[in-house]
Structure 1
């Protein structure tokens, strides 16, 4: 996000969701697309769909989003069970995403270990740094707050906000490809929980060979699916 972002509010601070907020349309180029012409068509379709879904999400009132976020937090608890001893990558809300900052505090209270993603370089996988509420943050790439001193960790659980999601648990994100690149590079696969609102469910994202589905989805209307 930059100062030119029309959705940025003065004085607001945001941290990046794993592979999502800082993704910029046009960066995601599969190394070996199965069909370059088809991929170009899919990219255009995804961009248009993304814009419509984000616009619809921003129309939800803050009070309604808070209610839905609380229900989503309950669904996450049902999905992962006791968080004690688990490292969980989280995010700060961006452009109407579910707000799970309160759940992060409860995670720490129950013995879980939060982490935040860090962009090292465009076109490269993210790394995850340990973070606890109150730890010092600094501006990272694109001025996104990141843990200033946290050690690098491998998450057991990655909580990923979605722009859209289809029945195969394929996620429509912000278009930069960080999500798939990061999951492919991890030494072990975490439990990946996509979180969003029911209105973000779509028939398909037209998944391509490079797309990696999430483990499960949690919305305000249902538990893990």
Structure 2
């Protein structure tokens, strides 16, 4: 089986696990994420607007916005790193590529912390995304300029032992689930 076939099979299994976790979710799923972000108050960070069955970081993002700039990713095109637009609770939003909402104002920012959505993760800091490479390119670019903290945010049920990874896959520095904080 090729690496791409292994990734496709892993994504299929992970999407099913994420859907089950999403359907069983309880309130307060971003509580542990808020705990981590409290130790980085004022540091520019990017969250994301949850789509489909992703775990929702919105409550933690809103809390962090009281202390410093918070942004969300903007997809500028295939094969490009993400850019980031300033987000505030209740700001006017518009539809962006792939169904993710983005702020209408479009004021650019550069995060030092990224809350990263994912399809699956491993305890060693591996991340399986959607396959577009957007976060890998973005983290590589940001980390070349300064230390950048990548926090994978997922349901505990999205953990997989043996992720098919490539050399270009950027590692996560922390993984936060609704149950625990994992330091690879």
Structure 1 segment 105-184 matched on structure 2, within 5 A? 105-109=62-66, 111-142=67-98, 144-184=100-140
For 1:189, what is the secondary structure of its paired residue? coil
Contact 1:164 1:172 in 2 (8 A): yes
> What per-residue deviation string (whole Å, max 9, x for no partner) do you get for residues 96-127 of structure 1?
22122222222223x13210111111111110
Instruction: Tell me, in whole angstroms, the C-alpha distance in 1 between the residues paired with 2:134 and 2:57.
Output: 21
Q: Which runs of 5+ in 2 are unaligned?
A: none
Q: CA deviation at 1:223?
A: 2.2
Q: How many residues of Structure 1 are paired with residues of Structure 2 in the alignment?
A: 181
Residue in 2 aligned with 1:56? 17
Instruction: Note the C-alpha offset of 1:168.
Output: 2.0
The CA distance in 2 between the partners of 1:61 and 1:212, in whole Å, is 25
Work out which of the residue numbers 65, 76, 84 in structure 1 matches 2:33. Answer: 76
Q: Is the 8 A contact 1:75 1:224 kept in 2?
A: no
Deviation at 1:172, TM superposition (A): 0.6
TM-score in terms of structure 2 length: 0.87
Could you say what secondary structure the match of 1:159 adopts? strand
The CA distance in 2 between the partners of 1:118 and 1:196, in whole Å, is 20
Runs of 4+ in 1 over 4 A off after TM superposition: none
Q: Show the counterpart of 1:8.
A: none
Match for residue 51 of structure 2 among 85, 88, 94: 94
Q: 5+ unaligned residues in a row in structure 1: which ranges? A: 1-39
**Structure 1 residues 10-29: aligned runs within 5 Å:** none
Q: Name the larger-Rg structure.
A: 1
